[in-house]
Chain A
């Protein structure tokens, strides 16, 4: 039962993870600060700002839901130092993300980026550790 439950929420987790990354790509590359769809800079900036804000809301909602899934998966897993480190990093990531969304501070933004890179690295290490488990999914 637990195994099936974990598989289903992992699938939902992948979906949220993809939303987080797609929005990051859209806002970082497509609608970055230099994006101008019109020659009128003020109007262009306004359109850019509106599109970016809408997308960031999705990034925020998906990020929070994803972190909740991580917490559920962690509860079902062993308390290894890697899992504990990962969940602590995710907690900092969510707090810095929400704070950055609320206050739009430069340092909070940098902290969010640094912690997100750290959490990705830990996540990849954790996946590599469990590589043998992937045989069942292949």
Chain B
């Protein structure tokens, strides 16, 4: 049976792990949007075509770029779906210790669940035969979730800094 002290240590460990996973999700998304955007990848492919002397139509270049991007998004997807599970573990453990409703943590878990659900639907849009319009709506919903999550993280950091200032 875990005592309070040990449970707090485990929560601390999961919290650090959650922080690393969130950073990983953010970084994969930033990489895929900027460095490996379709335009950038097509530019890379065109450069490789020039160097090797091979010929490819622009449509094929776009297709290759999409294949590469798909593999990169897989990392974002797998790390992303593990986030709500990790957050839920933290929430349940904290609830056991404090015996009160952890509203902020619960909200965080809810946002992460919402994000991973919408993200999963986006990831499997071809397998689920979702229309392009619906996929675009899902993409917008995913982006909205990102803004909410950023607001939550900023609020969380603000509280941590306030507590540090007060020497808590």
Q: Within 8 Å of chain A (Cβ to Cβ): is B28?
A: yes
Closest 8 CB pairs of A and B: A134-B12, A18-B23, A46-B48, A138-B11, A138-B12, A4-B164, A18-B24, A43-B54
Partner of A135 from B9, B23, B48 at Cβ < 8 Å: B9
How many chain A residues sit at the interface, stated as a range, is: 20 to 34
| Interchain CA distance A135-B13 in the complex, whole Å | 9
Partner of B165 from A4, A37, A51, A137 at Cβ < 8 Å: A4
Where chain B touches its partner, the secondary structure class is helix
Q: Within 8 Å of chain B (Cβ to Cβ): is A132?
A: yes
Residues of A within 8 A of B165 (CB): 4
Q: Within 8 Å of chain A (Cβ to Cβ): is B49?
A: yes
Nearest Cβ on chain B to A11's Cβ, whole angstroms: 8
Contact assessment for A134 and B9 in the assembled complex, using a CB-CB cutoff below 8 Å: yes
Contact assessment for B45 and A47 in the assembled complex, using a CB-CB cutoff below 8 Å: yes
Q: Within 8 Å of chain B (Cβ to Cβ): is A121?
A: no
Partner of B44 from A15, A50, A131, A134 at Cβ < 8 Å: A50
Where chain A touches its partner, the secondary structure class is helix
Cβ proximity bits A103-125 to B, threshold 8 Å, 1 near / 0 not: 00000000000000000000000
Contact assessment for B48 and A50 in the assembled complex, using a CB-CB cutoff below 8 Å: yes
Residue of B nearest to A44 (CB): B48
Q: Count residues of chain B with CB under 8 A from any CB of chain A.
A: 39
Q: Within 8 Å of chain A (Cβ to Cβ): is B72?
A: yes
Contact assessment for B28 and A22 in the assembled complex, using a CB-CB cutoff below 8 Å: yes
Q: Within 8 Å of chain A (Cβ to Cβ): is B68?
A: yes
Q: Within 8 Å of chain A (Cβ to Cβ): is B85?
A: no
Nearest Cβ on chain B to A74's Cβ, whole angstroms: 18
19 contacts between A and B (CB under 8 A): A3-B164, A4-B161, A4-B165, A7-B164, A11-B19, A15-B27, A21-B24, A22-B28, A37-B67, A37-B68, A46-B52, A47-B44, A50-B47, A51-B44, A54-B35, A55-B35, A134-B13, A135-B12, A138-B15
Chain B positions near chain A (C-beta within 8 angstroms): 5, 8-9, 11-13, 15-16, 19-20, 23-24, 26-28, 31, 35-36, 44-45, 47-49, 51-52, 54, 64, 67-68, 71-72, 75, 94, 157, 160-161, 164-165, 168
Partner of A22 from B27, B68, B157, B168 at Cβ < 8 Å: B27
Task: List CB contacts (< 8 Å) of A26-61 with chain B.
Answer: 26, 30, 37-38, 40, 42-43, 46-47, 50-51, 54-55, 58
Contact assessment for B75 and A25 in the assembled complex, using a CB-CB cutoff below 8 Å: yes
Residue of B nearest to A134 (CB): B12
Q: Within 8 Å of chain B (Cβ to Cβ): is A93?
A: no
Residues of A within 8 A of B31 (CB): 22, 26
Q: Within 8 Å of chain B (Cβ to Cβ): is A9?
A: no
Nearest Cβ on chain B to A3's Cβ, whole angstroms: 6
Residues of A within 8 A of B94 (CB): 138
| Interchain CA distance A11-B22 in the complex, whole Å | 11
| Interchain CA distance A13-B12 in the complex, whole Å | 17
